[in-house]
Chain A
Amino acid sequence: FKHSYATLQVDISDALSERDKVKFTVHTKSTLPNFKQNEFSVVRQHEEFIWLHDSFVENEDYAGYIIPPAPPRPDFDASREKLQKLGEGEGSMTKEEFTKMKQELEAEYLAIFKKTVAMHEVFLCRVAAHPVLRKDLNFHVFLEYNQDLSVRGKNKKEKLEDFFKNVVKSADGVLVAGVKDVDDFFEHEKTFLLEYHNRVKDASAKSDRMIRSHKNAADDINRIASSLYTLGTQDSTDLCKFFLKVSELFEKTRKIEARVAADEDLKLADLLKYYLRESQAAKDLLYRRSRSLVDYENANKALDKARAKNRDVLQAETSQQLCCHKFEKISESAKQELIDFKTRRVAAFRKNLVELAELELKHAKVT
């Protein structure tokens, strides 16, 4: 299932940040026959990723798969705001402070940038790794078509439609969830995913808060270092050398604390956020399956009724067979998908937790 004869490697080799958007250079290396070349690149924007994702979701054939969650929109607003505030407050701080804070913010901007690139790349890699999705036509167009896909963002009407669709879906989801599943595996998965999803959400929020506090503390340490530096340069007693040394120390401490916060962010918070999205996608899969089960049961009932009335029997039969088929197909692939999900999840957590621990150790030892 996982081994394929043709290779398909996708990565984001470059990215450019302009005013409001980010332009990703998607680079593909493949031996698949349908591509014109073995290696090529195109430039894509966030909206095009979303278009691709939505096309998967809307495709009935893929109802039985966990659709890799869409990458979040690149959000530089907070960072930009901070840079602006810094510019406004330039007069009120010393030149050193200003340069330092500017470097800080630029580093932050860069970090956010790297993250968004990583998340877009992960999305593409998941699709490329999926035995069925990788063959999707839209995906190939996305990778190869070297002109603008003219995917406009959804306009207001479409966004409203989406909103209503979601409302209906969640209401429906509640109804459907109430139906106890005959299959033990799926029943278990359902309960598990529900609980897991909620808890991941909670953990993700709390880890975000924790990391933010950490960053705030690092900022404070930065200011303390500057003050100590000024004190050191002003003082005429023996304290001046002392202050300067302590100021350096605080600088180092700050850098380390900031890095710790950033690493925690990467390894822990992002991990949790990603699995939040993934578990949602898994939930969606289960929903689709349950939905199809309900459809199947309804079709059964309709068939029975038709047989009883001896009317439209053939129609009812075909319909029932379709539903049955669909349901079975979904169930089969869903099972595999969910098992894969678990394996992936465990591996990802392991990798990240190990890296997190190693990084924390490394930083603590430096001090």
Chain B
Amino acid sequence: MADTARDPPPAHTDFQELEDGEDLFLEPAVIQESGPASLPAEDISANSNGPKQDSLFDDDPEDLFAEATEEVSLDSPEREVLLSDGPSPAITPITPPTSVITPRIGLAHDDMFTHSSFDEIEEEEGGDSFDMHISVSDPEKVGDGMNAYMAYKVTTKTSMSLFKTDEFSVKRRFSDFLGLHSKLASKYLHIGYIVPPAPEKSIVGMTKVKVGKEDQSSNEFVEKRRSALERYLMRTVKHPILLKDPDVLQFLESSELPRAVSTQALSSAGLLRMVNKAADAVNKMTIKMNESDAWFEEKQQHFENLDVQLRKLHASVESLVCHRKELSVNTAQFAKSAAMLGNSEDHTALSRALSQLAEVEEKIDQLHQDQANADFYLFSELLGDYVRLITAVKGVFDHRMKTWQKWQDSQLLLQKKREAEAKLQFTNKPDKLQQAKDEIKELEGKVQQGERDFEQISKTIRKEVSRFEKERVKDFKMIIIKYLESLVQTQQQLIKYWDAFLPEAKAIS
């Protein structure tokens, strides 16, 4: 949604923005401001990146594709309707004469846009591209005993005009992050936005830290959590809608944050959440939706499969991390043993060679340890994040089902009321008739709203899913490449070590 970046519509909260989208869809009345506003033709130069925009008007999706930086393959279902709910006043549809007549800028027509065009828009809107880096650092223990907590420093570095300064930092604790997530979830999940899930609570891990055990495992726990929080924030702000949410901005910028109280696991709010989750699960089983849209069916299946596979992969990688750590420990022990053997060996050259072997093995054990860390932090955590993300995606699909259900329910109710009204026609009860007519009018409104809601959420989900897939491709590629690089590096180190050892071994006479 570029508008806020450039021209915040007056007195808009984020909810307002979304409603705008809906309005646009329904009533052609809203006009978004922009420079070359009234041009219904090809000319858009709302943004400074003029030339690129022209290509947007190519009917040929292939060209757009060539422009796009990501190599996302355009499957036919995805080529279908991807409506932009007016994020950019910069785009005017080409053909329909209707748009020429009314200065209906910012209105998108279904058949015009492939999703990559939308992405291009996103990238170019607001005048600046996404340039933001958040780091979570300096975990500090505050307080003592069971009331202690870890405070993390959240530093934001950005050149985006959204923020007052280039670089700023605040102190936050874990429950603050959870609070942020729960606010975002309550605002956006039910209308179809994929809100990145927050890192999981860990009562055991936290207790150890609180109790003050300064050992390896609690340090690892803090590091794991810090890294997870960082990834969480980065994912959240990468989402163009969430980035502009005032709660997010407040979280990043303001030095004081009201304490989020309903995030404790064992609180009443926590219990309520659990009950709701269970209720949802039951409901899901009873809703039988007529899926008219093959795209959704296919996508749901796709995410189911992805879920299964990622979980499996995650389990294997976790197992690898575990075994590699074991290997490191065992190698260290062997190194010590070899050193002892070298000591008792009375043939000098052999003794020296054995000591060298011990040294090599010791270095190798460190290598294994480092590799295990890379395995974990790069690969395993990525997979864990995506497993949780996919759960969020599935949740969003579920919300769509619920929205559909609501719509259907009100339709049924309307029908019943109409039948009742028809019957009333034959009786002589003018008040009752009037009441029935009123109710029907109200219900008709509701039905229309339900339909709108459903269409809106479907639209949003399509957008979200394609953005999600793009991010997924980017994420996986980047991380796996980094991981492979780490593997290569390990091997190179191994070569160095064994190379050094070989002449020693040969020197045994």
Contacts and interface: CB of A to CB of B under 8 A. Distances in A.
Contacts of A361: 495, 498-499, 502
Contacts of A213: 323-324, 326-327, 330-331
A239 B386 CA distance: 14
A52 B385 CA distance: 63
Interface stretch (A27-35, A125-133, A225-233, A317-325): A225-233
B71 interface: yes
Contacts of B499: 361
Contacts of A210: 327, 330-331, 333-334
Interface in A339-356: 342, 345-346, 349-350, 353-354, 356
A220 B309 contact: no
B350 A349 contact: yes
Contact of B333 (A206, A224, A358): A206
Contact of A234 (B309, B320, B353, B487): B309
A138 B494 CA distance: 49
Which DSSP category, helix, strand, loop or mixed, fits chain B's interface?
A: helix
Contacts of A242: 476-477, 480
A364 B334 contact: no
A96 to B, nearest CB: 14
Interface stretch (B120-128, B214-222, B338-346): B338-346
B73 interface: yes
Interface stretch (B225-233, B311-319, B428-436): B311-319
Interface string B463-504: 000000100110011001000100110011011001101100
A212 to B, nearest CB: 8
A4 interface: no
A239 B472 contact: yes
Nearest to B502: A357
Contacts of B323: 213, 216-217, 220
Contacts of A216: 323, 326-327
Interface centre among B477, B505, B509 (most CB of A within 10 A): B505
A253 interface: yes
A155 interface: no
A220 B325 CA distance: 13
A200 interface: yes
B333 A353 contact: no
A199 B337 contact: yes
A255 to B, nearest CB: 14
B491 A367 contact: yes
A349 B306 CA distance: 51
Given A199-B340, A209-B333, A221-B320, A238 B326 contact: no
Contact of B330 (A200, A206, A228, A357): A206
Nearest to A238: B71
A209 B305 contact: no
Contact of B508 (A195, A202, A346): A346
A346 B350 contact: yes
A105 interface: no
Contacts of A346: 347, 349-350, 508-509
Interface string B259-290: 00000000000000000000000000000000
Interface residues of B, number: 60
Given A224-B316, A224-B317, A365 B334 contact: no
B506 interface: yes
B183 to A, nearest CB: 31
A118 interface: no
A217 B484 contact: no
Interface centre among B313, B336, B469 (most CB of A within 10 A): B313
Contact of B494 (A249, A345, A364): A364
B60 interface: no
A273 interface: no
Contacts of B414: none
Nearest to B334: A206
B498 A360 contact: yes
A119 interface: no
B41 interface: no
Nearest to B475: A239
A246 B75 CA distance: 23
Q: A interface, how many residues as a size bin? A: 35 or more
B498 A364 contact: yes
Contacts of A123: none
A214 B327 contact: yes
Interface in B68-104: 70-73, 75
A246 B480 contact: yes
B302 A195 contact: no
A239 B494 contact: no
A353 B505 contact: yes
B242 interface: no
A223 interface: yes
A237 B473 contact: yes
A360 B334 CA distance: 17
Contact of B319 (A203, A220, A235): A220
Given A238-B473, A350-B505, A350-B508, A223 B327 contact: no
Nearest to A200: B341
Contacts of B334: 203, 206-207, 209-210
A239 B330 contact: no
Contacts of A230: 309, 312
A320 to B, nearest CB: 35
Contact of A358 (B306, B480, B484, B502): B502
Nearest to B357: A353
B403 to A, nearest CB: 26
B340 A202 contact: yes
Given A199-B341, A216-B326, A239-B476, A357 B73 contact: no
Nearest to B493: A364
Contacts of B344: 192, 195-196, 199
A214 B354 CA distance: 21
B330 A238 contact: no
Contacts of B357: 353
Nearest to A230: B309
Contacts of B345: 196
Contacts of B330: 206, 209-210, 212-213
A33 B339 CA distance: 49
B346 A227 contact: no
20 contacts: A196-B344, A202-B341, A203-B334, A203-B337, A210-B327, A210-B333, A223-B316, A235-B306, A238-B72, A242-B476, A253-B487, A342-B346, A346-B347, A350-B505, A353-B501, A354-B502, A357-B498, A361-B502, A367-B488, A367-B491
Interface of B: 70-73, 75, 302, 305-306, 309-310, 312-313, 316-317, 319-320, 323-324, 326-327, 330-331, 333-334, 336-338, 340-341, 343-347, 349-350, 353-354, 357, 469, 472-473, 476-477, 480, 484, 487-488, 491-492, 494-495, 498-499, 501-502, 505-506, 508-509
Question: Considering the complex of A and B, which 8 residue pairs feature the smallest CB-CB distances, nearest first?
Answer: A213-B327, A220-B320, A350-B508, A227-B313, A353-B505, A206-B334, A210-B330, A223-B316
